[in-house]
Amino acid sequence: MATQERPSTYEKDWEVNFTHCYANGLIKFSEISNMLQITAGEHAIAAGFGFFEMANNNQAWVLSRIRMEVEELPKWLDHITIKTWIQEFQGARSIRNFEVWRKGKRYLTATTYWAVINTLKRTSEDLAIPTVGFETYPLQIATSKPFSRLDIQRDTAVVKNHQVVLSDLDIVKHVNNVKYMEWCLDTLKPELVLENNIRALEMNYLRELRYDDWVEISSSHTDNEIFFKIKKDEKISFLMQIELK
């Protein structure tokens, strides 16, 4: 971790344990995504705009878009290091990048778009905490491609319905980001995930979901891509595009 008072970069070491892994011993995509979010949260705390500082202003960070590119997945008992930094910090938004390393080899990269919401009004607003003096890295992008706005009009077919349960919720009282991914991946044939066929995942979070909501999960497949939609009452809450190897 950087040594300045408000560290502009941050690193966290992790050990991959058996609860993080699929049946083949490779880390679950939802778990590595969770690790990225926890690392980002610790960096925000160290830099002075973490959960409690935000809560004092009735604010919270919410993930809006993410692109993950997979070179190799960590496996059970691996020791990995997640590095993160802010690419851009402006008003109500932030772009944050990640790299996952093991023994000098980069395994995975991600770029993310975060928004500030008012937790009472549930609307976007500018960050209330000053960021003067906090260093950003506008030219340092982790992934080969930036995150994008996925095609909301793309045709899909319904594969499953799901009712939001207690374990789907996080501390902000809405469905945790990784749950959307889990719901979608759980509709696929196990071998597609377990044989390490996924090259990249891109996700757009459009509307939050709450306890007891019923959602419809739909998808479309091509030879090199899988596309998902999650919607409630005909309004789309989540989009995910999976690029296959």
The pLDDT of residue 43 = 95
Tell me, yes or no, whether 165 and 207 share the same domain.
yes
Same-domain status, 39 and 63: yes
Where a domain ends, among 147, 170, 187? 147
- pLDDT score, position 28: 97
Distance between CA atoms of 196 and 184, rounded to whole angstroms?
16
The verdict on 110 and 153 lying in the same domain is: no
Question: Are residues 82 and 162 both part of a single domain?
Answer: no
Backbone phi, psi, residue 53, to 5°: -65, -40
Please compute Rg for the chain using Cα positions. 18
In sequence order, the 6+-apart residues with CB closer than 8 A to the CB of 170 are 176
Sites in the chain below the pLDDT cut of 70: 1-4
77 and 9 assigned to the same domain:
yes
Same domain, 133 and 171: no
> What was the pLDDT predicted at 172?
78
Chain-centre distance of CA 205, in angstroms?
A: 9
Closest to 29 in 3D by CA, of 174, 177, 161, 145: 177
Which of 131, 147, 163 is at the close of a domain?
147
Domain CATH for 54: 3.10.129.10
* Same-domain check for residues 176 and 203: yes
Range of the domain at 183: 148-245
> pLDDT of 167-177, one tens digit each?
999 987 899 99
Q: What is the pLDDT of residues 62-112, one digit of tens each?
A: 899 999 999 999 999 999 999 999 999 888 999 999 999 999 999 999 999
The answer to whether residues 94 and 167 belong to one domain is no
What pTM was computed for the model? 0.92
Looking at the 3D structure of the chain, how many domains does it have? Answer: 2
Last residue of a domain, one of 117, 132, 147: 147
Q: Are both 4 and 120 inside the same structural domain?
A: yes
Do 109 and 56 share a domain, yes or no?
yes
